[in-house]
Structure 1
Amino acid sequence: MGYSIFDETMVDMPWPEIEAAAEKGAIVLLPLGIIEEHGPHMGLAVDMYAAYLVSLLAKHKLMTRGIASLIAPPNYWGVSSGTSVFPGTFSMRPETMKAVVYDILASLKSWKFTRVFIINWHADIQHCRAIIAALKDARRDIAIDAICMVSAFDVRRLRLTGNEDYILVQQAPPLVGVAEKYLDVHAGSMETAVMVKYFPKHVKTALAKKLKATKLTFDDLKGLGKSNEATRQLIPDGYFGNPAGYDTDAAEKYIEAYSTNTADAIEGYLKRK
C-alpha cells in the first residue's frame, strides 16, 4: 500500500484538480472508522486502514468501468460504546460524530459534488446510527445524494427495511477461514489477517500467534459496553475472536470480494439513476 491512508485521496490533490473532478461529475467515496484499541497485537487504526483499503480498491475497480471517483479524507472520529474502557479508544458523542459527518458532506456539496458513498468499517450500533442521522439531515437540508454502504446484516440490526434512500445494500462475502461456532468480530482472525496482508508493519505477529481464542457468542457480544468492569472481564485483552488463526490468503480473497461488491453496488446504483 501507499505511504498512508491519505495516499490517492483528495488530501494529496491540488484544489484545481478537485474542482475539475466535481465539474466532471466524479463521485466521492468517504471512508469512516474509528481510532480504537485492537488487542495487544495491533495498533489503534485497524478500522481506518480497512475502510481506506476497501475505498481505494473500489476506486480502482470503478475507474476500469469508466466511473471517476475521489476518496475524501478518511474520517477516524467515531463512536465506541463497547471498547472505550481501553486506553487508545477515542470515542465521540454520537451528536458530535453526526455533526462532523454532516459538515463533511456539506463541504463536498459546496464544491458541487452531488453523490457521496460512505464506506464504514466500524460496526458499533451508536456509530452507525450517527451516520444514518447525518445522512438523513444532509439529504434533507442540502440535497446531496449521500449514501452509506451496508450489508443485509446491517439492515437487520439497524432495524431498517433495505429500501431507505440513504443506504445501499451490498453483498457481504463469506468470512472464509473464520470459525463459525464463535464470533470473530474485533481484532480476531480476519482483521489480524487483513492487517498482516496489507499493513504488516502494524501487527506484532509473534504475539498474535500466542493469543488464545475468546470463544464468545452473540449473547456475549451484547455485554460489551454495559459497564467498564463487564467489558474488561469479557475481553480482558481487547479482542473478540481468534487472532492466532489469521489467514492472509483468506483475507486477500475477502477484501477483493468486498471491494468488488462495493464497486458493483455503486455501479448498479448509478446506472439506475
Structure 2
Amino acid sequence: MGGVPKMEKLWMQEMSWPEIKAKLQETDIVLIPAGSTEQHGPHLPLGVDTFIPIYIAEEVAKRTGVPIAPPIWFAPCEWHMGFPGTISIRPTTLISLLFDICRSLRRHGFRNFIIINGHTSGNNPALISAADEIQTEMPDVRVWVVDVVLMAKKAVLDVCEAEILYHADEVEASQMLVAREDLVQLEKAKKIIPKTKSRFIKLDYRPSDAELLFRPTAEDWRNLTSEGNIGDPTIASEEKGKVMMEALIENVVEFINDLKKDCNEPKRGE
C-alpha cells in the first residue's frame, strides 16, 4: 500500500546519529539560527528574532540540503528588560555557547558554520567575537554571520516606506507576516518615532552621513517608547515581507553554493 511520502528532515534534533553521519558525507556546512527572546511591542511575540531565522533556515535547507542545528533563543538584550518576558544573557555567555556548539559539531566533521542572526545589531558584536575565538582555536573552521537585514539590504530599502526602520517595525512585522502570521496582531500596532537628544544618536538602519555607535539602557528604551517598538509597523504587509525574505533566502543559497564550489575545487598543489 502506498503511504504519504516522508519529508526530508531539516533539523538535526529530529535526525538520528546515522542520519547525521550520512549528511556529513554530503556537506560540512551547517546552519545555526540565532535570535533572542525579547519584547517586540504589543503587536509581535517575544520570539520574533528567532522565528524569522528559523523560517529562513528551513527554506535554505530545503533548497541546499544543508542541515540546521537547534536554534539559539537567548541573546544580550538588556535594553529591553523594562518589558515583561524579555530574557537577557551576557555577551560572554553567547560567545561561550556558540564556541561550544561549533567545537562539538567540528568533532563530527562540520567545518562551515552559517549563523542566521535575527537579533541583528544586538547579536552581531558577540557573534563576531565568537567567530574570532572559534577560528583562532580551530583554524580549519569558518564562521559566517548572516544578518537578516544586511543580507537583504537592497530589498529592505526598496520596499520599506516608513520614516525610520529600527525595532518591531515595518521590517520585522512584514517578515513575521511571512514566517508566523498566526502570532502577528497588527491591530495593536502603533507608529512610534521618538526624538533623540542628538542627530548623531540615530534610530534607523538606513545609511546616514554621521552617527554614533551606542547601546541604550532599559530605562533609556522605556523613555524612548511606551509600547516597546520604534518605527511604523502599521504599514507592514505580507507582500513586503515576501520580497525581503525571498531576497534573503536567495542570497544565503547563493553563498552556500559558493562555499560548496570552493570546497570542490582542487587546492593548489593537489
- Identity between Structure 1 and Structure 2 (%): 27
CA contact (8 A) 1:224 1:230 kept: no
SS of the residue corresponding to residue 31 of structure 2 reads strand
- Counterpart of 1:18 in structure 2 is 20
- Counterpart of 1:95 in structure 2 is 92
Q: Which has the larger radius of gyration?
A: 2
Residues 30, 228 of structure 1: alpha-carbon distance in 2 compared, 3 angstrom cutoff: closer
Unaligned runs of 5+ in 1: 1-6, 63-67, 155-169
* Superposition deviation, residue 25 in structure 1: 2.9
* Superposition deviation, residue 213 in structure 1: 3.8
CA-to-partner distance for each residue in 1:160-196, whole Å, 9 max, x for gaps? xxxxxxxxxx56332244225x322211112112222
Correspondences of 1:103-252 after superposition (within 5 Å)? 103-125=100-122, 127-150=123-146, 170=151, 172-175=153-156, 176-179=158-161, 182-208=163-189, 211-214=190-193, 219-221=201-203, 225-252=215-242
CA contact (8 A) 2:34 2:119 kept: yes
CA contact (8 A) 1:37 1:83 kept: yes
* Superposition deviation, residue 133 in structure 1: 1.6
CA-to-partner distance for each residue in 1:95-136, whole Å, 9 max, x for gaps? 1110000011011112111221111111235x2121112112
Q: Distance in 1 between matches of 2:68 and 2:61?
A: 8
Q: TM-score, normalised by structure 2?
A: 0.80
* Superposition deviation, residue 53 in structure 1: 1.2
The residue type paired with residue 242 of structure 1 is D
1:75 equivalent to 2:57? Answer no
Q: TM-score, normalised by structure 1?
A: 0.80
The alignment's C-alpha RMSD in Å is 2.4
Residues 233, 257 of structure 1: alpha-carbon distance in 2 compared, 3 angstrom cutoff: same
- Counterpart of 1:163 in structure 2 is none
Q: Distance in 2 between matches of 1:24 and 1:227?
A: 46
Q: Distance in 1 between matches of 2:135 and 2:234?
A: 43
- Counterpart of 2:249 in structure 1 is 259
SS of the residue corresponding to residue 110 of structure 2 reads coil
- Counterpart of 2:38 in structure 1 is 36
Q: Distance in 2 between matches of 1:136 and 1:258?
A: 25
* Superposition deviation, residue 92 in structure 1: 0.9
The residue type paired with residue 103 of structure 1 is D
Residues 27, 131 of structure 1: alpha-carbon distance in 2 compared, 3 angstrom cutoff: same
Q: Distance in 1 between matches of 2:154 and 2:129?
A: 27
Q: Distance in 2 between matches of 1:118 and 1:100?
A: 13
Q: Distance in 1 between matches of 2:15 and 2:178?
A: 27
SS of the residue corresponding to residue 251 of structure 2 reads helix
CA contact (8 A) 1:82 1:224 kept: no
The residue type paired with residue 73 of structure 1 is P
Unaligned runs of 5+ in 2: 1-8, 204-211, 264-270
CA contact (8 A) 1:190 1:247 kept: no
* Superposition deviation, residue 266 in structure 1: 2.2
The residue type paired with residue 243 of structure 1 is P
